[in-house]
Structure 1
């Protein structure tokens, strides 16, 4: 997960990933310019955080919601949709 220390959506995403038991590695783009460049590349030139990357899949989670996160995790095969 690409993030910044001041990002509220990043804190929410980390909390949600932890609650779901999904391990992640966090990279602060303010401290690592090469990581900021990667975020720009995968987000069409936007410096958008949190940006999640799994294999060849990447997405911006700005305007974070747990539903948005779960949908993406389902798309990339990390969680199964819940029934009911």
Structure 2
């Protein structure tokens, strides 16, 4: 037999989680989205991962010189 108090607590927990996701997710996604991407240097119109680029910019420029802008952007894609 299920206790009514536990059902109510589970329902309130679910509603509280949904409200929290509704109000806090857009702010967190917006901050992460802005910080996560950058315009690809030397490859007009492409966006790449800022973290990947900062981790190894020499590799990015090597791929850019040897394989082209599309390949470099694909290798450092979001």
- TM-score category of the 2 structures, normalised to the smaller one: under 0.3
* TM-score normalised over the length of structure 2: 0.26
Is the strand fraction higher in 1 or 2? 1
* TM-score normalised over the length of structure 1: 0.25
Is the helix fraction higher in 1 or 2? 2
